[in-house]
Amino acid sequence: MNKLLGNMTLEAVSQLITTLISYLSYFVVLICATLLVLKGDFSAGNFFVAIGMIDQLSYPLISLAEIIRRLVAIKPSCLAMEKFIEEGNIKGRGRPLTGLARDIRYRGVSFAYPNEKPVLNNLNFLAKKGGRYLIKGPSGCGKTTAVNLLLRYYDATAGCVEVDGAPITDYCDTYGCITVVRQEAVLFHDSLRNNLTMYRDIPDERLVETLKALGLGKFAEKGALDAVVAENGANLSGGEKKRVCLARALLRDTDVLILDEPLANLDEATAGKIEDLLLSVEGKLLLVVSHQFTEEKLPSFDGVLDLSKA
C-alpha cells in the first residue's frame, strides 16, 4: 500500500509538472509567434503552423514524463523482488518436509515484523502427531503468525520451530507435509470435482465418501460432481463453501492439517456443525486457529494454546 501510494503521488506530481510545461510552452510559442506577426516576419499561415507545433512539443514531453515515472516507481518493487528471490534461494537449501513422525515444537519462539513490536514472545508449545490442538486469542495476538512461521513464510526472530526434533530451517519447504485452509473459502469457476481434486487423479468413490462424511450428501453423486461451482463459490452457502474447502484439504491427505479461522462469518448453527466436523478428523495433527470456538467443546482438544495469556 505504501508503494502504491508513492506511485500515485509520483503520478500526480509528474502530470502536474508536464501539464504546466505544456501550457508554458503554449504561451511561449503563442507570444513569440504573435510578436513575429506584428513585426511582419510571420504570415497568418505561419502563425497557425507555429500554434499547431505546440501539440507536437507537448506529446513527447508528456510521454517522456510518464516513462520516467514508471521507471522510478518500478525500481523499489524490482529491488524488493530481487531481495525476495535471493532470500528464497537461501531458504531453498535443504530437504523438503514430506511427513511428520512425532511432533511439532515451538521452543522459545519470538517474532516481530520489521520496525514493529514483537507479535510473539518466548512461545513454547508442543503438538503431537495425531492430536487436536486449538490456538486461540483475540485478533492481533499472533495466531496466524505462529502458523506462518511453521509454513516458513517467515523465520523466527528468536528461538526455533522444530519438526521431529529438527529446526524448521533445515527444510526448504513444508508443502508436502502440511495443508492449510484459510479463513476465506477459495473456490474457482469450474466443476465441483476439479475444485476438490485440484486436477489430481482421485477416484469418484473417494470424493463421494469424503463429501458424505462432511455432511455434503447432496453433492455426493456424479451429476453433482460435474456441476459448475461459480467463482468464489457464489452459488453455494457459507457453510457449504467451508465444507468443500475442508473436503479438498482432507483429500490432500497430509500429516498436518491447519484451519485458520474456520468459523468466521458463519451463523451459530452452521458454526456448531463445522466445529463437530473438525473434531471428527482423525489420523492427522489438527491445528485449529480460532477465537470463537465453543467453550464447552474445548475439552475435546488435546491442547489449547491461549495467546492472549502468552
Domain ranges of the chain: 2-91, 103-309
What local confidence, expressed as pLDDT, does residue 28 receive? 79
What local confidence, expressed as pLDDT, does residue 138 receive? 87
DSSP secondary structure letter of residue 154: S
> Strands 228-229 and 190-191, how do they pair?
antiparallel
Residue 31 CB coordination number (10 Å): 10
N- to C-terminal Cα separation, the chain: 31
What local confidence, expressed as pLDDT, does residue 48 receive? 74
What's the whole-model pTM score?
A: 0.68
Tell me which fold the domain 103-309 belongs to. Rossmann fold (3.40.50)
- Provide φ and ψ at 256, rounded to 5°: -120, 130
d(CA 103, CA 46): 86
What local confidence, expressed as pLDDT, does residue 95 receive? 84
What local confidence, expressed as pLDDT, does residue 89 receive? 57
> Which residues of the chain, if any, have pLDDT below 50?
none
